[in-house]
Amino acid sequence: MGSSASLPRRTGTTARQRLIERARYDYKPELVRINDELIKELELPGGELKLMSTGLAQKKAGQKLSSAIRYTLIRNSLNFQFWDLKDDKFVRYESDRVVGATLMRRQFDLHWGDEEGPTRFREAFVERGIKGIFGDIPAARERTWILEDALFHQFWFPAVGALEWSIGEVGAFTVGDAEIIAMMLPSGYRDRYLKKAQLALMEIAGYCAEIGIPVDCSELTLCADYQLPRVLRAMGILEYAPEFAAKVDSQRLIEKDSEEERAIRAATVLAGDLLSSVLGAPAAAIDNFLWTHRALAGNTRFHLTMTTNY
Confirm whether 4 is domain-assigned. no
Q: Which domain holds residue 152?
A: 12-297
Three-state DSSP class for 33?
strand
pLDDT digits (tens, 9 = 90+) for 16-47: 999 999 999 999 999 999 999 999 999 876 56
Residue 32 included in any domain: yes
Residue 147 lies in a domain: yes
Rounded CA-CA distance 81/79 in Å is 7
Number of domains in the chain: 1
On whether residue 53 sits in a domain, the answer given is yes
Asked if the structure places residue 170 within a domain, the reply is: yes
Cβ–Cβ under 8 Å, residues 305 and 138:
no
**The model's pTM:** 0.93
3-state secondary structure of 229: helix
Q: 215 to each of 39, 165, 219, 282, how far by Cα in Å?
A: 27, 12, 11, 12
- pLDDT, one tens digit per residue, over 109-154 is 999 999 999 999 999 999 999 999 999 999 999 999 999 999 988 7
* Nearest CA among 265, 301, 260 for reference residue 23: 265
Beta strands 238-240 and 32-34, pairing class? antiparallel
Q: List beta partners, residue 253.
A: 304
Segment 263-295, tens digit of pLDDT: 999 999 999 999 999 999 999 999 999 999 999
Residue 310 lies in a domain: no
Q: Which amino acid is at 167?
A: I
Residue 232: phi, psi to the nearest 5? -65, -35
In a domain, 260, yes or no: yes
